[in-house]
Structure 1
Amino acid sequence: MPRSTREAVEELPLLEAGLWPASPAPEPPQPHRAKTPDRPPPAALGHRERLRARAAKALDALPDYELLELMLARSLPRGDVKPLAKALLARFGGLAAVFGASLAELTAVKGVGEAVALDLKLVQEATLRIGRGEVARRPMIASWSALLAYVKAAMAHEGREQFRVLFLDKKNQLIADEVMNHGTVDHAPVYPREVMRRALELSASAVILVHNDP
Structure 2
Amino acid sequence: MPASSNNLLPGLAEAPHFHGHRDRLRARFRSAGADALSDYELLELVLFRALPRRDVKPLAKALIQTFGSFAETVHAPDARLREIAGLGEAAITEIKLIAAASSRVAKGQLKQRTVLSSWATVIDYCRTAMAFADKEQFRILFLDKRNQLIADEVQQVGTIDHTPVYPREVVKRALELSATAIIMVHNHPSGDPTPSQADIQMTKAVIEVSKPLGIAVHDHIIVGKHGHASLKGMKLI
Residue of structure 2 equivalent to 1:129 = 104
8 A contact 1:186–1:213 mirrored in 2: yes
Query: For 1:109-163, what per-residue CA distance to the aligned partner results, in whole angstroms no more than 9, with x for missing partners?
Result: 1111111101111111111111111101100011111111110011111111121
AA aligned to 2:97 is L
Matched, 1:45 2:19: yes
- TM-score (ref. length: structure 1): 0.79
Structure 2 residue runs without a partner (length 5+)? 1-10, 190-237
Residues 1-214 of structure 1 aligned to structure 2 (within 5 Å): 41-59=15-33, 60-214=35-189
Q: Would the aligned equivalents of 2:134 and 2:160 in 1 still touch at CA under 8 Å?
A: yes
- Aligned 8 A contact 2:77 2:134 in 1: no
Count residues in correspondence.
177
Once the two structures are superposed, residues 90-122 of structure 1 have per-residue CA deviations (whole angstroms, 9 ceiling, x without a partner) of 111111111111222212111111111011111
Structure 1 unaligned segments of length 5 or more: list them: 1-35
Question: Which amino acid in structure 1 is aligned with residue 177 of structure 2?
Answer: L
8 A contact 1:88–1:98 mirrored in 2: yes
Larger helix proportion of the pair: 1
Q: 1:150 corresponds to which letter in structure 2? A: Y
132-141 or 46-55, which deviates more: 46-55
> How far apart in 2 are the matches of 1:133 and 1:50?
33
8 Å CA contact retained: 2:78, 2:92: yes
On the 8 A contact 1:75/1:119 being kept in 2, the answer is yes
SS of the residue corresponding to residue 42 of structure 1 reads coil
Aligned CA-pair RMSD: 1.5
Residues 41 and 79 of structure 1, relative CA distance in 2, 3 Å threshold: farther
